Amino acid sequence: MLERIVIDKAVAELRPDVVVLAMTAHGLVNGLSDAVTTDWLAMAAKGAAQGAQDPHLDAWRDAYRAFGAKPQRTRPSVDALLRRADALPAINKVVDAYNAVSVEYVLPVGGEDLDAYQGPARLVRATGEEPFDTVAGGAAAVEHPDAGEVVWRDDAGVTCRRWNWRQCTRTRITETTGNALFLLERLAPYPLDRLQEAAGDLAERLRAITPDVQIESRLIGGA
């Protein structure tokens, strides 16, 4: 998977500064949130007020506006997390780990069930015809992105809408997920060494959850 993940030319033209650090974790033993992972969330929340002033958030808001989204209505994932950092819900061990890293490093971090993927992940501008599996009114539903919207997708459809706003239900990480893909996304002026530091921190937390997990990573993009 890692070597086939791409940032489409149309996205790179929109934001030449985008860099994605993609990480796979094989052999995870996930489970219900516990005292360790909820403590990670609590510790991350302590710095949320300062993180809310980070210029990286402004870069993401500008990126959303560039493809026609309104970041006040559909917020970049890290912006949304920071705004509710004092009450971040514990989901499961792996989701808690990457949400804590996202808040602590003021960095969008997505987590996906690798076994649910069909083909490689790629960051593209949507045609508007791609299916997006979601929930509406408590029931399973299929929506479609706006034409020109930046999305993550695989061969089956959209895996995350509006860059990193909302994940599809098909690839979300659950308590039974054994193999996962993580996407850590950076825009200027976010330092690349800080991106690498965040990835290292996430890897350490995944090893705390599953000591024998096999982790690989790759940097993609950048002008």
Q: Quick: pLDDT tens for 53-110.
A: 899 999 999 999 999 999 999 999 999 999 998 888 999 999 999 999 999 999 999 9
pLDDT in tens, 203-216: 999 999 999 999 99
pLDDT in tens, 159-197: 999 999 999 999 999 999 999 999 999 999 999 999 999
| Secondary structure (3-state) at 81 | helix
Query: Sorting pLDDT into bands at 50, 70 and 90, what band is 223?
Result: low
**Residue 132 φ/ψ, nearest 5 degrees:** -135, 110
Token reading at 126: 């949507």
Closest CA to 107 of 118, 96, 98, 120: 98
What is the four-CA torsion angle of 93, 36, 42, 198, rounded to 10 degrees? -70
Token reading at 38: 């909820």
Q: What strands lie across the sheet with 19-26, from one edge to the other?
A: 109-113, 179-186, 19-26, 214-221
Question: What pLDDT does residue 87 have?
Answer: 86
Q: How far apart are CA 22 and CA 5, in angstroms?
A: 8
Peptide bond into 76 cis (omega under 30): no
Per cent of the chain over pLDDT 70 is 100
Answer yes or no: are the C-beta atoms of 114 and 24 closer than 8 Å: yes
